[in-house]
Amino acid sequence: MAEIAPRSPRDAVRWGLLLAAMAVTGFRLPRTYGAFRNWHAVRFSDPSAAELYRLNFTANAVGIAIVLLLALGAFYLLRPRRPKPS
């Protein structure tokens, strides 16, 4: 049988952060899509409502980008160290 390599707590934190970021992104994505759709539906008929939908869309999109960038950065920084060649 194949031997399983030992895992560290650091590896668990690394994957946990990435999984949490994907959960946050998945939670915010439907609201972001809805705000985008509503913004385009009313942009010519009601400018004040369109501005609110655009603001909601922008805030959600920026939030998604920030969460993903932080998670990917943490995932990269917490990667296992390579042993130094002798």
- The domain locations on the chain are 47-78
pLDDT at 10 over 90: no
pTM (predicted TM-score): 0.79
Residue 6, pLDDT score: 65
Q: What is the pLDDT of residues 37-82, one digit of tens each?
A: 999 999 999 999 999 999 999 999 999 999 999 999 999 998 877 7
Residue 85, pLDDT score: 73
Cα within 13 Å of Cα(49), Cβ side: 11
Residues 49, 42 contacting (CB under 8 angstroms): yes
Residue 63, pLDDT score: 95
Residue 28, pLDDT score: 94
Residue 36, pLDDT score: 96
Burial class, 62, CB count within 10 angstroms (exposed 0-12 / middle 13-18 / buried 19+): exposed
Which structure tokens are listed for 34? 């809805």
pLDDT at 31 over 70: yes
C-alpha pair distances (Å), 41 with each of 38, 45, 52, 61, 76:
5, 8, 13, 18, 40
